[in-house]
C-alpha cells in the first residue's frame, strides 16, 4: 500500500490535470443541458483509460523498488546491479552513488594500509621490548631475594600487558594466525601454571591440579593466552592461603575455580564486556577491563565458549567449553 501511495503522489500532477479537464468538460456538457448519461459515460471511459495508462508505470516503479530493497540488503561491495535508468535524473543519481562508492573504496583501502602498518609497528615493538625484559629476568635470577622476586612479577605483568595489546590488535586485523591442531590440554595448562608459578609461591596460594588427559582441537597459542588470563585473574583476587583448582567437566569443559572474593551479582552479567571492571576492578585500581573481554572474543573465534559463575566471598568458577562448534567470524 505504501508503494501505491508513493507512486500516486509522484503522479499527482497528471492526476490533478486529468480531474481538472474532466471537470471542465462536465461543466461544458451541463451548461448545454446534455443528458447526464452523455456526461458520465465519457468521464468513466477517460477515467478507466487514465488508470490503465498508470498501470505500466506502477509496475515499473514496483520492480525498481524491489530491486533497490534487495540491493540495500547486500554488502556495499556487491551493490553493482542498479535498475536501468529511465530518466536523466536516475542516471545522474547513479553516477553520484558510483563516485561515492569509489571514494569509499579508496578510503577503506588507505585505512587498511595504515592499520596494517600500525600492526607491523607494534609487533616489532613488542618483540623488541621482550629482549630487555628477558635480559632483566636473567639478571634477577642471579639473586634470590624478596626484591628480585617482586621485580620478576612486575616484569611478567609487563609482558602480559604487551601480549594483551598485540592480541587486541590482531583480533581486529583482517588476517589471523590461527593454527588448529589436536592439542594436549595438559600441555597448555602446564605452560600457563609454570609461567605464573612465582606468583603462586609468593602469594602462598595452593594449586589443585591433576592431569586432565584430554585432547582438544584448538590453537595452542591463543588458548594459552585465555588460560593464563583466567589464572592471572584468579591469583589477583584470591587471598593468601586460598586455593585455585583446575579440573575438567563434561562435555570437554575446562574449569578454573578459585576461593577468592568473588564477583558481585550486578557485575556478573557484564564481566566479559570491553572495559568493564566492576566493583573489584575499581577497588584494585589496576584492572583494565580487557582481559576477560579478550578471552571471550578469542573463545568465540576458536569455536569455544566461556562463562563465569560466582558469588561474593565464595569464589569464582570460569568454564571454558572446548567442544567444537561452528566458527563465527570476529
- Among 17-21, 50-54, 77-81, 156-160, the least confident range: 77-81
Confirm whether 285 is domain-assigned.
Answer: yes
In a shared domain, residues 184 and 259: yes
In a shared domain, residues 251 and 320: yes
- Residue 157's pLDDT is 80
Cα separation, 139 vs 112, whole angstroms: 41
Burial (CB count within 10 angstroms: exposed 0-12, middle 13-18, buried 19+), residue 86? exposed
In a shared domain, residues 32 and 105: no
In a shared domain, residues 134 and 203: no
Mean pLDDT, rounded, for 34-52:
71
In a shared domain, residues 187 and 330: yes
Q: What is the pLDDT of residues 137-175, one digit of tens each?
A: 777 777 777 777 778 777 888 887 888 877 777 777 666
- Residue 175's pLDDT is 63
Cα separation, 206 vs 199, whole angstroms: 11
Confirm whether 145 is domain-assigned.
Answer: yes
**Among candidate residues 150, 175, 200, the one where a domain is terminated:** 175
Cα separation, 286 vs 53, whole angstroms: 74
Domain count, the chain: 3
- Residue 328's pLDDT is 45
69 is written with which cell numbers? 530493497
Confirm whether 260 is domain-assigned.
Answer: yes
- Residue 256's pLDDT is 95
In a shared domain, residues 326 and 287: yes
Cα separation, 158 vs 30, whole angstroms: 97
CA separation, residue 104 to residues 90, 115, 327 (Å)? 21, 16, 29
In a shared domain, residues 60 and 204: no
Beta-sheet pairing, 215-218 with 181-184: antiparallel
% of residues, the chain, pLDDT over 70: 82
Mean pLDDT, rounded, for 39-57:
73
- Residue 18's pLDDT is 75
Confirm whether 92 is domain-assigned.
Answer: no
Number of neighbouring beta carbons within 10 Å of residue 273: 14
In a shared domain, residues 75 and 102: no
Q: Answer whether residue 53 shows pLDDT above 70.
A: yes
Cα separation, 265 vs 281, whole angstroms: 14
**Among candidate residues 141, 159, 175, the one where a domain is terminated:** 175
Mean pLDDT, rounded, for 26-51:
71
- Asked whether the beta carbons of 85 and 64 are under 8 A apart, the reply is no
In a shared domain, residues 294 and 197: yes
The winner for highest mean pLDDT among 5-14, 130-139, 242-251, 275-284 is 242-251
- Asked whether the beta carbons of 303 and 287 are under 8 A apart, the reply is no
Confirm whether 26 is domain-assigned.
Answer: yes
In which domain, by residue range, is 101 found?
Answer: 97-175
Burial (CB count within 10 angstroms: exposed 0-12, middle 13-18, buried 19+), residue 178? middle
Residue 251, preceding bond cis, omega within 30 degrees? yes
In a shared domain, residues 110 and 211: no
Q: How confident is the model at residue 329 (pLDDT cuts 50, 70, 90)?
A: very low
Mean pLDDT, rounded, for 29-56:
72
Confirm whether 294 is domain-assigned.
Answer: yes
Mean pLDDT, rounded, for 12-39:
72
Single out the residue of 4, 43, 37, 36 nearest to residue 21, CA to CA. Answer: 43
In a shared domain, residues 134 and 220: no
Burial (CB count within 10 angstroms: exposed 0-12, middle 13-18, buried 19+), residue 192? buried
* CATH code where residue 213 lies: 3.30.565.10
- Residue 218's pLDDT is 92
Cα separation, 177 vs 219, whole angstroms: 9
In a shared domain, residues 150 and 206: no
| Mean pLDDT of all residues belonging to the chain | 80
**Among candidate residues 154, 175, 196, the one where a domain is terminated:** 175
Confirm whether 171 is domain-assigned.
Answer: yes
Amino acid at each position: 500500500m505504501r508503494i501505491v501511495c508513493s507512486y500516486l503522489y509522484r503522479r499527482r500532477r497528471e492526476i490533478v490535470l486529468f480531474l481538472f479537464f474532466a471537470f471542465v468538460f462536465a461543466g461544458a456538457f451541463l451548461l448545454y443541458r446534455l443528458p447526464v448519461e452523455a456526461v458520465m459515460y465519457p468521464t468513466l471511459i477517460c477515467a478507466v483509460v487514465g488508470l490503465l495508462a498508470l498501470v505500466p508505470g506502477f509496475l515499473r516503479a514496483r520492480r525498481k523498488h524491489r530491486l533497490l530493497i534487495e540491493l540495500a540488503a547486500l554488502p556495499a561491495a556487491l551493490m553493482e546491479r542498479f535498475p536501468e535508468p529511465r530518466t536523466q535524473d536516475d542516471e545522474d543519481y547513479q553516477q553520484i552513488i558510483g563516485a561515492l562508492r569509489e571514494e569509499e573504496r579508496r578510503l577503506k583501502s588507505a585505512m587498511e594500509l595504515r592499520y596494517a602498518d600500525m600492526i607491523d609497528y607494534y609487533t616489532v615493538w613488542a618483540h623488541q621490548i621482550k629482549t630487555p625484559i628477558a635480559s632483566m629476568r636473567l639478571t634477577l635470577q642471579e639473586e634470590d631475594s624478596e626484591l628480585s622476586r617482586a621485580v620478576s612479577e612486575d616484569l611478567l605483568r609487563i609482558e602480559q600487558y604487551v601480549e594483551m595489546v598485540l592480541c587486541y590488535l590482531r583480533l581486529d586485523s583482517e588476517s589471523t594466525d590461527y593454527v588448529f591442531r589436536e592439542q594436549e590440554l595438559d600441555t597448555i595448562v602446564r605452560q600457563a601454571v609454570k609461567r605464573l608459578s612465582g606468583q603462586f609461591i609468593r602469594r602462598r596460594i595452593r594449586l589443585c591440579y591433576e592431569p586432565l588427559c584430554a585432547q582438544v582441537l584448538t590453537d595452542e597459542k591463543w588458548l594459552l593466552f585465555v588460560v593464563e588470563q583466567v589464572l592471572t585473574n584468579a591469583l589477583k583476587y584470591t587471598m593468601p592461603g586460598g586455593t585455585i583448582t583446575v579440573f575438567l567437566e563434561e562435555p570437554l569443559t575446562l574449569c578454573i575455580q578459585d576461593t577468592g572474593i568473588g564477583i558481585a551479582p550486578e557485575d556478573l552479567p557484564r564481566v566479559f564486556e570491553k572495559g568493564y571492571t566492576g566493583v573489584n576492578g575499581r577497588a584494585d585500581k589496576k584492572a583494565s577491563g580487557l582481559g576477560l573481554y579478550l578471552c571471550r572474543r578469542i573463545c568465540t573465534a576458536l569455536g569455544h565458549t566461556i562463562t563465569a559463575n560466582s558469588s561474593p566471598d565464595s569464589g569464582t568458577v570460569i568454564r571454558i567449553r572446548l567442544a567444537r562448534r561452528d566458527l563465527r567470524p570476529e
